[in-house]
Chains A and B, each alone.
Chain A
């Protein structure tokens, strides 16, 4: 028995070491780019990592190192501290939260490392350039889509809305919420009848929606702050045969089979909003910073979100599936 345990454990360790090596084997590269990602576990973040890896691979002379902060400010600060010691040619940071990451990014700049701040802005401009997108705009566009769809179906802007909220206290959640409510405020006949917090997760949204369907006999629109939650709500509604007359709206519009673009194509979602991954722009600007000595990037690049409906879903899917 003891021997079996030892063999099992040794095998497991060996397997891990070997696979680890084969993954990290790299040739000599001209540039090292370090990327501090706030949370690999979110599909949006995973898509960012994949795209960044792909685009830098295409350049051929960049070695990309990605560190995952697992949604923890202290971990991310520690990782950036390590990166500062390693002195990469370029540091890209997707900050977990604004305030806690501001100072450490300033230290990277002070250490002479060019820094790109990705997607989420920080409280001081402690970066060489910022590439981001506008969540408040997404919220407003979602509000307008709700108004349009209800008007189309009912002749006027009235109806009952269920809102699936992301993790409370997170900026994306607050802005996607505020933007929509700013628009809906001026339509008194549109009522948010239930707000549920599903922490961005498909499984949580499915469960929350179960109860909502029991307590709300009429639901016209489900607005979820990301696509997985919209899909979760759809799953629960479909089980009770209440998916047909309900409009499901998500946000993120990721490519790939699990992403929102495919779900719009499939008719599961009425609409979603492509929230830019920001990575393509960051890689473009970052590579120029590495290779063109005289290049001065702009201080901020703010990318526009885009409404995705059945009309443009297929085209967007082609473009953003990699």
Chain B
């Protein structure tokens, strides 16, 4: 048992090391290929670095909870649609004078309602997965379709514009779209979820469920509750990411976030978390997110054809996972 645990430990360390090396390589590539201007390398410009951080924030936030879901051996395909639902709900609420209260109150309530709604989506996903024992892929595939429909139905297929005025909606967008708020949210959530996974009983149980569900069951772990909780977390974070999405883009869009679920899963996988569950880390996921973010940034700074960008990403995903497989043997 001890030996097994030690083995798991070193393998995890190795895979973490590999992700770090991966990120270092991409950063090196970025430095070499960065265009430069009078102030030096554009890539290293503090504005550009924060651009990258902000750009990865939404996917980053999604991938934090996704890591927990995948660690239990599950998957959540509904986060892209759920993000769109939250962005639509929050935009609907802030663009309508629906109750007389101070701006702070109205915005807080709008954000809370949106996040609450998506938490319910997560709860429904989790309950169906845990209680009815339907495969998570199928359950969340269904809600990916259904929630997208719900978002479009709520908004009557159109984008909810937030505008550039001085009203409540504009204040909402202004307050929640700054780099400080967006990047700050991502960093804060990353710390919370990192601690949750590594330093709490819940975190250990999440891993245990994905590692060997039967064993976890015999050990008396509340498997169903753990499963429900990870999907609740996923719904909640998707909702919050949706709120940030609406603020940053000055619109609530029922069509936002298409394929975001796949980008989040890619970030988790590149970060060394196994789709089979049980093995992986939040640090890895953050590194995975950054690898994709930096790569995208450097390609676009150089005006590289977007089709080539997609092909390169494919290579990175397979390459990263292949390296980790090799590290395991």
Contacts and interface: CB of A to CB of B under 8 A. Distances in A.
Given A5-B127, A8-B124, A215-B301, A210 B51 contact: yes
A211 B301 contact: yes
A155 interface: no
B281 interface: no
B152 A231 contact: no
Interface of A is mostly: helix
Contacts of B297: 211
Given A43-B159, A210-B51, 6 more contacts: A43-B158, A194-B303, A203-B256, A206-B248, A217-B37, A266-B163
Contacts of B95: 257
Interface of B: 35, 37, 42, 45, 47-48, 51, 55, 95, 124, 127-128, 131-132, 152, 156-161, 163-164, 245, 248-251, 253-256, 297, 300-303, 306-307
Contact of B152 (A8, A40, A217, A232): A40
Given A197-B306, A211-B297, A235 B249 contact: yes
B161 A203 contact: no
A207 interface: yes
Contacts of A217: 37
Interface in A188-214: 194-197, 201-203, 206-208, 210-212, 214
A137 B7 CA distance: 67
Contact of B51 (A49, A194, A214, A228): A214
B127 A8 contact: yes
Given A46-B158, A217-B37, A257 B163 contact: yes
Contacts of B248: 203, 206, 235
A258 B159 CA distance: 7
Contacts of B307: 168
B127 A215 contact: no
Given A5-B128, A232-B249, A46 B161 contact: no
Nearest to A199: B306
A258 B47 contact: no
A320 to B, nearest CB: 14
A256 interface: yes
Contacts of B127: 1, 4-5, 8
